[in-house]
């Protein structure tokens, strides 16, 4: 039990990007005692890269230098523009758009960013091999955390950053809630990371004259490539729409040349498919990962003194490039509110305000990302691979996401907190 005049003990479950950004953000507050728990033997991130657009970078600015500097140290590369091109059918080779942002999006390797975020975190607040199995009310408003190894911890507030299949969402919603489990979104993706020299050799020098992200839309799928690690590495991604069902416990499937070629066999006149497949096969452990999203909206992001951020709250497909960015926005709002909380009794108002401002915004992005993916993969209703219709459908589709006032978002959260 924590007396009102003691430091607030905040427990974060999950040592990926969302949890690491939050622990960084909270360390600056002397009234907060924060600890982070990771179920795996070490803190790690799956996947090659994340792209952080204007809204994400503005949120990092609001959080502070500790996280923004980590992005730079991790070798994030500003993208001068994003080019979308039709890569299949009679319009193959035609440019859909060239998006040039006033704040260039930055691509960063997930593992490198995580490493830099965790570098300043004291070892005594990082706990590995801690799989959360149960949460109980402590009787004083706080919660008791029970771990698989038999240990227990007390927290005034528990924050779930434990991903799409984590335990915290189940605690908040209940084991039988229709929004508990993610829905298979109807896509799979695969990716590889390789040296810039190899990408130039296979794709051609013309695609690397500047740091530009390329998106290639075709019949039921898309390719993407961009530059990472201070311009030394290239990420290549393939996404495919599929009618197959994936079991919720089946996260990935092995891929080989035959499977990739079959997946994109319907692409005709394509200037890119053969070479992208060659680059993807540079990954000796190439796998197709199912895409899941929380397409059924959760009615709340909190229950009592437990709340959730990132994929635990709002898993989404990658077609807005917004998963990490929405987690960063979550952290920005939550840490702003917790900075105002000076005693445990104020935590209830804080998590209520967090839910009130973050849930509608994040859930809108989940829904929009899924439909954007369909359009980018040539399956938009009455759009297909018609260049003019693709331009009309995609041209301003990211505006609501990127042109977002983070300072006003924070003010709204603080108004809600003070009202509660």
Kindly report, residue by residue over 20-30, the tens digit of the pLDDT: 999 999 999 99
Mean pLDDT of the region 63-84 = 92
Mean pLDDT of the region 32-44 = 93
Instruction: Please state, for a pLDDT cut of 70, what percent of the chain lies above it.
Output: 98
Note whether residue 241 is domain-resident. Answer: no
Our measurement of the distance from residue 379's CA atom to the centroid of its chain's CA atoms, rounded to an integer in Å, reads 24
Position 147 pLDDT exceeds 60: yes
Mean pLDDT of the region 102-123 = 93
CATH number for position 69: 3.50.50.60
> Cα dist. 309→160, 296, 315, 332, 338 in Å?
6, 16, 10, 11, 14
Strand order in the sheet with 302-303: 126-127, 32-37, 8-13, 157-160, 306-308, 302-303
The residue with greater pLDDT, 102 or 35, is: 35
d(CA 69, CA 63): 11
Mean pLDDT of the region 242-253 = 87
* Whether 160 contacts 167, CB under 8 Å: yes
d(CA 211, CA 13): 36
d(CA 229, CA 300): 37
Mean pLDDT of the chain: 94
Angle, helix 347-376 to helix 406-419, in steps of 10 degrees: 140
The SS3 of residue 280 is helix
Q: At residue 235, what are phi and psi to the nearest 5 degrees?
A: -100, 130
Position 2 pLDDT exceeds 70: no
**Of residues 134, 115, 157, 105, the one with CA closest to residue 303:** 157
Q: In 219-322, where does DSSP find H-type helix?
A: 257-263, 273-280, 311-314
Note whether residue 307 is domain-resident. Answer: yes
Show the domain range for 43.
8-76+105-182+294-378
Note whether residue 191 is domain-resident. Answer: no
* Whether 162 contacts 311, CB under 8 Å: no
Mean pLDDT of the region 42-47 = 76
- The count of other CB atoms within 10 Å of the CB of residue 185 is 25
Q: In 253-377, where does DSSP find H-type helix?
A: 257-263, 273-280, 311-314, 323-340, 347-376
* pLDDT recorded at residue 248: 78
**Of residues 156, 184, 324, 334, the one with CA closest to residue 247:** 184
> Which of 110, 191, 358, 359 is flagged as catalytic?
191
- The count of other CB atoms within 10 Å of the CB of residue 238 is 26
Note whether residue 222 is domain-resident. Answer: no
Note whether residue 63 is domain-resident. Answer: yes
- Residue-wise pLDDT for 330-360, tens only, equals 999 999 999 999 999 999 999 999 999 999 9
Position 195 pLDDT exceeds 50: yes
Q: How confident is the model at residue 152 (pLDDT cuts 50, 70, 90)?
A: very high
* pLDDT recorded at residue 47: 66
Q: Tell me if residue 191 is catalytic.
A: yes
Sign for the CA dihedral angle at 22, 24, 28, 34 comes to: positive
* pLDDT recorded at residue 348: 97
Position 274 pLDDT exceeds 80: yes
Note whether residue 413 is domain-resident. Answer: no
List the helix and strand counts (H, then E) for the chain: 14, 20
Note whether residue 405 is domain-resident. Answer: no
Note whether residue 256 is domain-resident. Answer: no
Tokens of 353: 């305000």
Instruction: Please state, for a pLDDT cut of 90, what percent of the chain lies above it.
Output: 88
- Residue-wise pLDDT for 207-240, tens only, equals 999 999 999 999 999 999 999 888 999 999 999 9
Mean pLDDT of the region 284-310 = 96
Total domain count for the chain?
1
């Amino acid at each position: 039990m924590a007396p009102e005049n003691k430091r607030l003990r905040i427990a974060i479950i999950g040592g990926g990007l969302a949890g690491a950004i939050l622990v960084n953000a909270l360390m600056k507050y002397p009234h907060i005692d924060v600890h982070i728990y990771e179920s795996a033997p070490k803190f790690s991130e799956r996947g090659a890269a994340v792209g952080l657009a204007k809204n994400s970078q503005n949120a990092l600015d609001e959080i502070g230098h500790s996280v923004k500097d980590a992005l730079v140290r991790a070798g994030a590369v500003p993208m001068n523009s994003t080019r979308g091109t039709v890569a299949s059918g009679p319009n193959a080779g035609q440019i859909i758009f060239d998006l040039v942002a006033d704040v260039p999006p930055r691509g960063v390797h997930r593992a490198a960013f995580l490493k830099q975020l965790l570098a300043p975190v004291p070892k005594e607040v990082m706990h590995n091999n801690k799989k959360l199995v149960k949460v109980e009310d402590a009787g004083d408003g706080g919660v008791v955390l029970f771990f698989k190894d038999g240990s227990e911890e007390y927290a005034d507030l528990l924050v779930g950053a434990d991903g799409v299949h984590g335990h915290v969402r189940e605690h908040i919603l209940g084991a039988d809630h229709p929004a508990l489990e993610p829905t298979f979104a109807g896509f799979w993706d695969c990716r590889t990371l390789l040296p810039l020299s190899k990408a130039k050799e296979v794709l051609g020098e013309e695609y690397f004259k500047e740091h530009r992200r390329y998106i290639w839309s075709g019949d039921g799928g898309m390719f993407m490539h961009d530059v990472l690690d201070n311009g030394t590495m290239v990420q290549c991604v393939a996404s495919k729409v599929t009618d197959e069902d994936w079991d919720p416990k089946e996260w990935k499937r092995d891929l080989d040349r035959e499977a990739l070629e079959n997946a994109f066999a319907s692409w005709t006149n394509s200037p890119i498919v053969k070479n992208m497949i060659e680059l993807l096969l540079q990954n000796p452990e190439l796998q197709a990962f199912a895409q899941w999203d929380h397409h059924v909206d959760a009615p709340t992001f909190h229950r009592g003194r437990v709340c959730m951020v990132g994929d635990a709250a709002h898993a989404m497909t990658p077609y807005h490039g917004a998963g990490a960015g929405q987690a960063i926005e979550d952290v920005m709002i939550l840490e702003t509110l917790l900075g105002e909380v000076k005693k445990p009794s104020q935590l209830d108002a804080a998590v209520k305000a967090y839910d009130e401002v973050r849930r509608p915004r994040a859930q809108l992005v989940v829904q929009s990302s899924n439909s954007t993916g369909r359009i980018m993969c040539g399956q938009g209703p009455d759009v297909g691979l018609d260049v003019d219709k693709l331009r009309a459908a995609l041209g301003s589709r990211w505006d609501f996401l990127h042109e977002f006032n983070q300072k006003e978002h924070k003010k709204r959260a603080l108004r809600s907190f003070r009202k509660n």
